[in-house]
Chains A and B, each alone.
Chain A
Amino acid sequence: DAGVTQSPTHLIKTRGQQVTLRCSPKSGHDTVSWYQQALGQGPQFIFQYYEEEERQRGNFPDRFSGHQFPNYSSELNVNALLLGDSALYLCASSLLGQGVRGYTFGSGTRLTVV
């Protein structure tokens, strides 16, 4: 049973560019949440998707957007990249009814903005 899969694993982008990160949830899960983890800090909640809609959002600007597809996979898009967007981006999937207790995390995408 595959866990949460994220791609790519590493990515280098230039300031001002746009990036798309991808997440395939664990089999049977219907909810995807995205977190940003800056170096030396704990992960911070970006947003959560369920039934192809953004269900909840953290304190991130509109440059951060997402999408969930009918097969429950998800994308995180970041526009107009800033140096401060350099971080590990983690995806977590779950069943809506289990809430945060049922989270399974992927290994993340390491984004470097130069």
Chain B
Amino acid sequence: GIQVEQSPPDLILQEGANSTLRCNFSDSVNNLQWFHQNPWGQLINLFYIPSGTKQNGRLSATTVATERYSLLYISSSQTTDSGVYFCAVRGGQGGATNKLIFGTGTLLAVQP
């Protein structure tokens, strides 16, 4: 099956700093999403980005599907950005599958 790896596993930033999180996947995919898991455990969908670049405020994401990686950029980080960031791809073949395969996550701590 598809393998999804994220780096770095942990990251500590001072408020205001920028960061880049990386997601590598082992096979071609037609669906890639970035999630933020808040301290209460809820997964919030940040981006649906199978290819190209998208921006939403201080966050942006780029996926290069041909090279099997995606990047999540966080600029001017805030303490509320703390949490775990996951990338996830749709598992299996064809249109019949509706499960996500998650990476191992990046734990981000933003210090004031």
Q: Is the CB of A110 within 8 A of B41?
A: yes
Interface-located stretch among A21-29, A68-76, A95-103: A95-103
Secondary structure class of chain A's binding surface, majority of residues: strand
Interface residue total, chain A, C-beta cutoff 8 A: 27
B interface residues (Cβ-Cβ under 8 A, vs A): 4, 31, 33, 35, 40-45, 48, 86, 88, 90-91, 95-105
Contact of A107 among B35, B42, B103 (CB under 8 A): B42
A108/B42 contact (C-beta < 8 A), A48-B99, A55-B98 known: yes
- Nearest A residue to B95, CB-CB: A99
A interface residues (Cβ-Cβ under 8 A, vs B): 31, 33, 35, 41-45, 48, 55-56, 58, 88, 90, 92, 94, 96, 99-101, 103-108, 110
Given A43-B100, A99-B98, list of 9 further CB < 8 A pairs? A41-B105, A42-B4, A100-B31, A100-B88, A100-B99, A104-B45, A105-B42, A105-B43, A108-B42
Enumerate 26 A-B pairs (CB-CB under 8 Å) in ascending A order: A31-B98, A35-B100, A41-B104, A42-B86, A42-B103, A43-B86, A44-B102, A45-B100, A45-B101, A48-B98, A56-B99, A88-B41, A99-B90, A100-B31, A100-B99, A100-B100, A101-B31, A101-B33, A101-B48, A103-B45, A104-B45, A105-B35, A106-B42, A107-B42, A108-B41, A108-B42
